[in-house]
Structure 1
Amino acid sequence: MIRFILFLIFFLPIAVLGQDNWDQEGDLEDSQVIIEKNRKIDLPRINRDFKKVPEIKSIQSPIDVNFSSRQFIPSLSSLAPRIRVLTVQDEKLEKLYANQVKVGAGNYGASYLEGNFASKRNKDKGYGLHLFHQSYANGPIDKRNSGSGYQRVNPYGKYIFRKAILNAEAYYERHNNYLYGYDTAHCTEVDRDSLQRTFHTVGASISLQDENENSPYHYNLETDIYQLFTNINNSEFSFDYSFQNEFDLNEEFALYLNSDGYLTKLKFDLLDSAQNRNLLRFKPGIKFAKENLKVGLGLNMVHENDTLEGMNKFHIFPDLNIVYTPFDKLTLFAGVKGDVRANRYRDFLMENPYLDNTVNVYNTLMPFQFYGGANGAISNYLGYEIGFSVSSVRHNFGYEAVYNEREGEIRYRTKYFNDNNTEANVYASVSTSFSKLRANLRGDYFYYNVGETQLMPFRPNFRLKFNGEYWIANKLKIGLNAHLQGAMNNVNTFEQENAIYSFNIGESIPPIYDLGIKLGYQLSDRSGVFLHANNLIANKYEYYLGYPNRGFQLLGGFTYSF
């Protein structure tokens, strides 16, 4: 930059002069310009004296100096703030009266006793004892000759584990009845002891139920064992089991393999031989559940050795069920299945205590059944259920009345229908529960087709039941129960044609209707009185030919809790 400025300074005057003679003609003389740069900066010399840095000698102190440090932790005096934390006091539980006793008496020499004795509140376990007794010294025919009674002793217990619940119980039952189905017009002297039929049952059961919701595997195991004795030396031993298990594959699919059955030994004293009756059932399948739809599809495989088909029979039936919930208060269900209905001697005695000393005991085959229905709620207080079933049945059974002049009484035997027949049931029920009212009404229609010339004996064609209770006041409760049943066919067999009797064996069993009322009044939180009145219409109806029921019955008593 400096060179450029110097250049302009030297040549700018020459350029100006040259412009003055621009119009003149002439020749440019040759010339030579020499620019010489010769500049030098000279500074005076200064003398400097560079000396070596002297070494500093360390001086060691003859006194040792020690340094010590101590950690200082400040301490604060305890604070006592004048602040009170507000807490909600837990609500005290009401005192639990786990024990209760009911005592009563009534006409027909009725006596009633029921006791419930249980442990106090415990989150892990519970146990108790249930006692029940009800008997009638007299009955509708010849007073003491038609008495009856029932007793039961039932200790039980439950233990709750972290992932399972264990239940166990034992029981003793006694049923006492009399074969009072004799003709009082012709039988003046009857041996009461020969009419008595007493059945004793001793048994126990145990179950283990899975409660681990986080596990994909779920199970439920139940076992039951009982021994039945009778005063006519008939006996039945049975071991029953039921095992249900399910494995979740994912949120929608699950596999299951259920099984149940029994091993039974039946003995009749007159036959002097024992019969082994076994049934094993296996039900594998798969379940599907998604939103409002549930579907189960599997097989029902049954092996049993006691039907009229023969020995050692193995059956395979379908097992399909569908449950669909289109909205909260409506559920639809339908299915197709087949099965073997297990019939046992103890079940027959519970249904008809007036059996002969020996009866035939066989299972009933049901190769096909189609069923369906719906249940739900019309409102928060009114629920309903309707349904139907149509079955193809083989070896279905009813009861047949048998009159023996030598014995002088009517007894019953089982009557089987070996051909394929149709059985149907249509039902509807309504229940309500709100405020002080509880009520339930159910009606059933039954249809049996056992052949063109045969009738299903002692089975009603319809049944209507109602049960309800209402608290009239804080301490007064009233209950009502009604029972209406259609006519039944009367099927009889006579061992002697010349038998003299006055029974209307040619007519069907007329319809049965019964009405009862219950009253209860609370004297205090721990005591109360009750009054039950049954068969208010005082109709001595007959469910089984020759065995009329008691008329008007009254039972009153006292209840106490402690």
Structure 2
Amino acid sequence: MRTHILKSTCILAIFFIANLATAQDKDKDKDKDKEKKNISTEVVNVVKPYTPSVSDAFKIKQTPSLNDKETAKKKEIQYAIFSFPVASTFTPAKGRAAGLKKAKREKLYNTYVSLGLGNYNTAALDFFTSRAISRDETFDIALRHHSSQGGIDGVQLDDKFFDTKLDLAYINRSRDLSWKGKFGYQHQVYNWYGLPDIALTPTQIEGIDEQQTYHNVYIGADVDMEDSFFNGGKILYRRMFDATSSGENRLIVQPEFEVEIAGELIKTLVDIDYVGGTFENNFAGTGSIDYSILKAGISPSLVILRDDLTVNFGAAIYVGLDTENSENDIFVYPRITAQYRLSGDDIIAYAGIEGDLQQNSYYDFVQTNFFMSPTQAIAPTDQQYNGYLGIKGKLTSNVSYNARASYVSENNKALFKVNTFNPSPDNGYTYGNSFNAVYDDVTTISVFGEINVDITSNFKFGAKAEYFNYNTDNQQEAWNLPELEASIFADYQITENWFAGANIFFIGERSDEITFAPGTTIFPTEIVNLDSFIDVNAHVGYRFNDRLSAFVKANNIANQDYQRWVNFPVQQFQVLAGATYKFDF
């Protein structure tokens, strides 16, 4: 009975709870319906845009801390390697280090002397020594001598020559400044032996004083600076005088400056060049010749570097003063050059247009032609422009080349012309056997080519040639200027001891004009053409050790009887043998 009552009570309770839950759900649904009915449309203004941000995150540790004492204990792990030998028949070869063959270090000496003797009673001496005063200072001495007692076939006058030069130099080098002081003296003796092909009596020939002596003394300095707007420069003073009481002074001052503006280099060269002197007589013997010429100028240039292109924009402005004739003038010249690498060092194109006021001097004339008369009219040459276009580079790693075409316009260019035959017993240069400088406006077109080949490290070969085409204004010809010049050279180190070399020169035809003073002869004025010639020279030598070597030189091997200047034949086949010795002094 109690069991039935308890069951009935449980059923009633469950039924009551279910009805109560259903009633609550109905009430919630009614409330939602009321809220839906009360929602209305409104405008929402967003004052600040939503900017999402990443909340702070905590990095999970790779090794979490555990409080479990059992888990925190590390278990010991034991490793065991089961190794056993493996039989092998391979035996590696022993390696050898590759060795480089070292070249024998050449012993350097501070002094050498070379002496040679040859036919025509020829003597040659070359001496040089360099003494180290300190780590940064050295003192150099150089002495050179070349002479011959002559003996040219068919020459009636003395044809010997003598040339000795002494050079002294003090050199001081430092990190930012290097300079060189120099002093020198040169003594030269030459003879006006080139008589024209006319009949002279033995008495007339004996009365000719054909010897001329030149003395040259100079002092100067060269300066080179680093990390300064003053790059350096040079200064030179030269005094020249001869046996006929002629004298000349020359002073050259050329400082150079360099500044950088906006990343570009601007170079400026200051050029001051003075030459002045006197000749005791003019060629007619009616008076002396005095000259005093100053050129002063400045040459600024802008250097532009752009990858493979290098351009130099410049100009030169000169003032020329002739104080003896009370004349002065201003000259402006272009100085523009460019270079472009078309293919690295293999093909380089270059071009330029440049001009200059070239100072002429008695000394320069004599060094070009030893048979000048001491009766010169000295004047500068106005080279208006020299325009050129060329290409250079390398055909292979051991073959280089250079080709160029140019056009030059020069006013008052000096040309050497043989003097008039007008004998004077007091002057040995009046027998048509000396030369005078005449001036004319000349334009020149030239084509130049050059190639150099390093066949091996011991064998080098080179050749070059240049063709000229001259156009004169007043003179009939460009006197004594060849149309073609060419040369070939070769040097060969045959063995460690034997060495040899050769060079060949070719000079094309030249023209000159032989004139006679009225009443001296019955011969008329004549233009002569000097034949072209080839001069073949060679040398061979043997080194006994690093101190002593012997050599033999042969000149004019073809034995040609050519004339470099009209009526002046040269020595034919010449041979010179000698030795060179090096030592520490």
Answer yes or no: is 1:512 the counterpart of 2:525.
no
Q: Tell me if 1:324 matches 2:340.
A: yes
Percent identity of equivalent pairs: 20
| 1:468 partnered with 2:490 | yes
- Decide whether the 8 Å contact of 1:307 with 1:364 is kept in 2: no
Counterpart position of 2:200: 186
Matches within 5 A, 1:177-256: 177-183=190-196, 185-189=199-203, 190-191=205-206, 194-212=209-227, 217=229, 219-251=231-263, 253-256=264-267
Structure 1 residues 220-268: Cα deviation after superposition (integer angstroms, max 9, x where no partner) = 21111110010111111111122222112254x1112111131222111
Give matches, 1:514-553, under 5 Å.
514-553=535-574
1:359 partner letter: Q
Return the offset for 1:435. Answer: 1.4
Matched residue of 2:366: which SS?
helix
| CA–CA separation in structure 1 for the residues paired with 2:497 and 2:527 | 51
1:457 correspondence with 2:479: yes
Cα pair 1:308 1:395 within 8 Å, conserved = no
Counterpart amino acid of 1:473? T
Q: 2:311 aligns with which of 284, 292, 295?
A: 295
**Partner residue of 1:368?**
385
Superposition pairs of residues 344-363 of structure 1, within 5 angstroms: 344-363=361-380
Counterpart residue type for residue 188 of structure 1: P
1:380 and 2:397 aligned = yes
- Indicate how the Cα distance of structure 1 residues 513 and 504 shifts in structure 2: closer, same or farther if over 3 A, else same: farther
- Pair 294,309 (structure 1): closer, same or farther in 2 beyond 3 Å: farther
1:181 aligned partner, one-letter code: G
User: How many angstroms does 1:413 deviate by?
Assistant: 1.1
Q: Which has the larger radius of gyration?
A: 1
Distance 1:461 1:92, change over 3 A: closer
Q: Which residue number corresponds to residue 168 of structure 1?
A: 181
Give 1:414 deviation, angstroms. 1.3
Q: 1:243 & 1:302 partners in 2: Cα distance? A: 15
Answer with 149-158 or 401-410: which moved more: 401-410
TM-score, length of structure 1 as denominator length: 0.78
In structure 2, how many angstroms separate the alpha carbons of the residues matched to 1:282 and 1:234? 32
Unaligned runs of 5+ in 1: 1-14, 23-90
- SS state at 2:530 partner: coil
Q: Is 1:395–1:416's contact at 8 Å kept on the other side of the alignment?
A: yes
The one of 246, 264, 272 equivalent to 2:275 is: 264
Contact 2:256 2:268 in 1 (8 A): yes
- What letter matches 2:313 in structure 1? L
Q: Does 1:395 align with 2:412?
A: yes
Residue matched to 2:124: 112
Q: Which of 118, 136, 142 matches 1:124?
A: 136
For residues 433-490 of structure 1, what are the alpha-carbon distances to aligned partners after superposition, in whole Å with 9 as ceiling and x for unaligned?
A: 3311122211011111004872111110110011221122221111111111110112
Cα distance, 1:317 vs structure 2: 2.0
How many corresponding residue pairs?
475
CA distance in 2, matches of 1:192, 1:512: 33
1:126 CA drift (Å): 2.4
* 3-state secondary structure, aligned to 1:350: helix
Q: In the TM superposition, what is the alpha-carbon distance from 1:174 to its structure 2 partner?
A: 1.4
TM-score by length of 2: 0.75
Question: Letter of the aligned partner of 2:248 in structure 1?
Answer: E
User: Which residue identity lines up with residue 179 of structure 1 in the other structure?
Assistant: W
Question: After the TM superposition, which of the residue ranges 304-313 and 432-441 deviates more from structure 2?
Answer: 304-313
Preserved CA contact (<8 Å) 1:398 1:457: yes
Using the TM superposition, name which of 466-475 and 267-276 deviates more.
267-276
1:160–1:166 contact (8 Å) kept in structure 2? yes
Tell me the amino acid that sits aligned with residue 561 of structure 2.
K
Residues of 1 paired with 2:147 and 2:245: CA distance?
23
Question: C-alpha deviations, 1:82-117, integer Å up to 9, x for none?
Answer: xxxxxxxxx997542111111111111111111111
What is the correspondence of 1:476-495 to structure 2 with a 5 Å cutoff? 476-495=498-517
| Partner SS state of residue 537, structure 1 | coil
- The alpha-carbon deviation at position 351 of structure 1 amounts to 1.0
Tell me the amino acid that sits aligned with residue 177 of structure 2.
A
